[in-house]
């Protein structure tokens, strides 16, 4: 599935509906999306051209280094760039609009269409002359002759200005980051052309990394679209596949990820330099599994937080097991806690804490940070010497037993 997949095809513009074309690009150069999240298989920036009888609109764009390829694809489907009337900005993040200042230079008659909040933020990111910025309101429509675009404000997916654009004639919803996924599009662009299982898995990781914090807004957006009764024949996000067959599946996935139903699953995030902490992890794993709790183990030093966040997003509880390191929580475990604070705070999930040390415990640092991140701390918090005393062993088992009885209340995971 990677960008270098020999079965990959070079993607020119693709028609996705009558007069609507995918003019996106694959980014196979970037190692980290947002300089944070590994993208070993690249990522696509999907942009679209809607060609009407009275001009064209370009929905979103691409990151700066891929501007040329994007512009050439637009040229291929629109012809003269002077026909471009609108460049729609669903979301200002540079993965979608670093290309826009250049496109505006080339498409001399075009103006950008942006939400009210977007219009306010725009100048902090791009130099666009005032007279070429047009604010569109929630629900407003613009006409391209035989095609009509309607704007639907869906704020905070994951910036304050985000909106979606709906093409009334084709039933195409351009949803930008919502319903997106990592992974370049190497075998095609539609859900039925690609290995969708791979993209759905990557959609989960993308969701947990980028959007999870804004789950409430995701649910509001999905509800709003449903209430508006927009018939979605094609769901066209800005990353990953375009959906034409399995639209309800990706929408349900987003709904489920936004409102995870707790079940008996725990993620154990641990670190261990010399093996003593790993023994504690094995004890906890044994107790939890014996009672029917599903357990995922994450060696924090060897797992990028991007993947850890994805596992944790689906867990009702997280167990942190770590040695003290230079009077602090073992740094890779501390890093996961920091990420959780930034990306997944305030979900009221359970956290259990076990610290191993030789002369000074560091459990309090973890407990304080986890409490600030909105976790409920399960007692007893255990601090044990490298070699646990019988009393410490008993406390570790008691903690694991208590955790499993809390988790079993939710019922087992599907
Ligand atoms: C580089 C290093 C720094 C450590 N710093 C501390 C410390 O500040 N306080 C402490 O009590 N123990 C400290 N220790 C001891 C470990 O926390 C303790 O032995 C722990 O149980 C090791 O777990 P492990 O065998 O899973 O690596 C340190 C150990 C190492 C290797
Ligand atoms: Fe974004
Ligand atoms: Fe994006």
pTM of the model: 0.95
Work out which ligand 1 atom sits closest to the CA atom of 271: 26
Sequence-ordered list of residues with C-beta below 8 angstroms from that of 309, at least 6 positions apart, any chain: 205, 208, 209, 212, 339, 340, 343, 344
Hey, which of 278, 284, 323 would you mutate to test ligand 1's pocket, going by the most ligand atoms within 8 Å of its Cβ? Answer: 323
Q: Mean pLDDT across the stretch 288-315? A: 96
Each domain of the chain, given as residue ranges in start order, spans: 14-258, 265-407
Residue minimizing CA distance to atom 22 of ligand 1 = 323
- Confidence label for 351 from pLDDT (cuts 50, 70 and 90): very high
- Compute, in angstroms, the gap from residue 374 CA to the centroid of ligand 1: 27
Q: Provide the CA 117 distance to its chain's centre, in angstroms.
A: 22
Judge whether residue 7 has pLDDT over 80.
no
Per-residue pLDDT of 359-411, as tens digits, reads: 999 999 999 999 999 999 999 999 999 999 999 999 999 999 999 999 999 99
The DSSP bridge pattern shows strands 317-325 and 350-357 to be: parallel
Name the least confident of 4-18, 69-83, 282-296: 4-18
Q: Looking at residue 363, what is its pLDDT?
A: 98
Counting ligands in written order, the one closest to the CA of 95 is 3
The string of pLDDT tens digits covering residues 116-140 is: 999 999 999 999 999 999 999 999 9
Residue 157 alpha carbon to ligand 3 centre in Å: 10
CA 181, CA 185: separation in Å to the nearest integer? 10
Ligand 1: atom nearest CA of 359 is 11
Q: How far, in whole angstroms, is CA 398 from its chain's centroid?
A: 36
The number of C-alpha atoms within 13 Å of 288 and in the hemisphere containing its C-beta is 27
What pLDDT is recorded for position 347?
81
State which ligand 1 atom lies nearest to the alpha carbon of 273. 27
Tens-digit pLDDT profile for residues 244-276? 999 999 999 999 999 988 999 999 999 999 999
Closest ligand to 273 CA?
1
Mean of all residue pLDDT scores within the chain: 96
Q: How far is the CA of 318 from the centre of ligand 1 (A)?
A: 22
Which residue's CA is the nearest one to ligand 1's atom 16?
357
pLDDT for 407 equals: 96
Same fold, 14-258 and 265-407: no
If pLDDT is split at 50, 70 and 90, which confidence band does 22 have? very high
Query: What is the CB < 6 Å shell around ligand 1?
Result: 272-278, 323-327, 356-360, 386
Q: Is the pLDDT of residue 243 over 60?
A: yes
CA distances for 38 relative to 41, 118, 157, 241, 273, angstroms:
9, 28, 21, 19, 25
The stretch 175-193 carries a mean pLDDT of 96
| Protein residues within 5 Å, CB atom, of ion ligand 3 | 95, 177
Q: Determine the distance separating the centroid of ligand 3 and the alpha carbon of 176, expressed in angstroms.
A: 7
Tokens representing residue 196 in the block: 């969708």
- In angstroms, the CA 385 to CA 123 distance is 56
Q: pLDDT value at position 346?
A: 78
- With a pLDDT cut of 90, the percent of the chain lying above it is 94
Asked whether the predicted pLDDT for residue 10 surpasses 80, the reply is no
Q: Among residues of the chain, what percentage have pLDDT more than 70?
A: 98
Q: Residue 129: count other Cβ atoms within 10 Å of its Cβ.
A: 8
pLDDT value at residue 187: 85
**Cβ within 8 Å of residue 162, ≥6 positions away:** 90, 91, 115, 154, 155, 156, 176, 177, 178
> How confident is the model at residue 345, as a pLDDT?
86
Q: What are phi and psi of 190, to 5 degrees?
A: -90, 155
Number of helices followed by number of strands (H, E) in the chain: 12, 23
Taking the chain, what is the end-to-end CA distance rounded to the nearest angstrom?
28
Ligand nearest to the CA of 210: 2
Contact 176, 60 (CB under 8 A): yes
CATH architecture under which domain 14-258 falls: 4-Layer Sandwich (3.60)
Mutate to test the pocket of ligand 1, among 279, 321, 324, 383 (most ligand atoms within 8 A of CB): 324
CATH number at 265-407: 3.40.50.360
96 CA from centroid of ligand 3 (Å): 6
């Amino acid at each position: 599935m990677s960008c270098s997949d020999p079965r990959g095809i070079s993607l020119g513009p693709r028609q996705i509906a009558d007069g609507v074309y995918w003019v996106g690009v694959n980014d196979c150069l970037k190692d980290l999306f947002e300089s944070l999240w590994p993208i070993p298989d690249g990522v696509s920036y999907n942009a679209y051209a809607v060609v009407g009888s009275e001009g064209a609109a370009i929905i979103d764009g691409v990151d700066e280094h891929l501007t040329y390829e994007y512009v050439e694809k637009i040229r291929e489907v629109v012809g003269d760039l002077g026909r471009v009337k609108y460049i729609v900005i669903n979301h200002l993040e540079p993965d979608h609009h670093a290309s826009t200042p250049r496109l505006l230079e080339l498409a001399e008659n075009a103006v950008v269409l942006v939400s009210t909040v977007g219009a306010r933020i725009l100048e902090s990111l791009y130099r666009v002359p005032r007279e070429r910025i047009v604010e569109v309101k929630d629900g407003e429509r613009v006409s391209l002759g035989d095609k009509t675009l309607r704007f639907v404000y869906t704020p905070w997916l994951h910036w304050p200005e985000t909106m979606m654009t709906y093409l009334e004639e084709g039933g195409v919803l351009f949803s930008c980051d919502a319903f997106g996924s990592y992974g370049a599009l190497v075998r095609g662009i539609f859900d039925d052309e690609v290995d969708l299982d791979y993209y759905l898995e990557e959609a989960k990781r993308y969701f947990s990394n980028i959007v999870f914090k804004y789950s409430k807004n995701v649910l509001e957006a999905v509800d709003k679209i449903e209430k508006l009764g927009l018939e979605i024949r094609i769901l066209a996000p800005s990353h990953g596949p375009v959906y034409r067959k399995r639209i309800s599946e990706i929408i349900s996935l987003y709904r489920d990820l936004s409102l995870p139903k707790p079940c008996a699953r725990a993620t154990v995030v641990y670190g261990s330099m010399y093996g003593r902490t790993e023994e504690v992890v094995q004890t906890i794993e044994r107790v939890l599994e014996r009672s029917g709790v599903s357990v995922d183990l994450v060696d924090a030093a060897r797992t990028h937080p991007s993947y850890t966040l994805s596992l944790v997003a689906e867990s009702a509880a997280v167990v942190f097991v770590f040695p003290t390191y230079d009077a602090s929580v073992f740094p890779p475990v501390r890093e996961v806690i920091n990420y959780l604070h930034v990306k997944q705070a305030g979900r009221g999930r359970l956290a259990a804490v076990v610290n191993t040390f030789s002369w000074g415990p560091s459990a309090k640092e973890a407990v304080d940070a986890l409490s600030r991140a909105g976790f409920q701390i399960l007692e007893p918090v255990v601090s044990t010497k490298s070699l646990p005393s019988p009393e410490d062993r008993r406390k570790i088992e008691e903690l694991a037993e208590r955790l499993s009885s809390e988790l079993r209340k939710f019922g087992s995971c599907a």
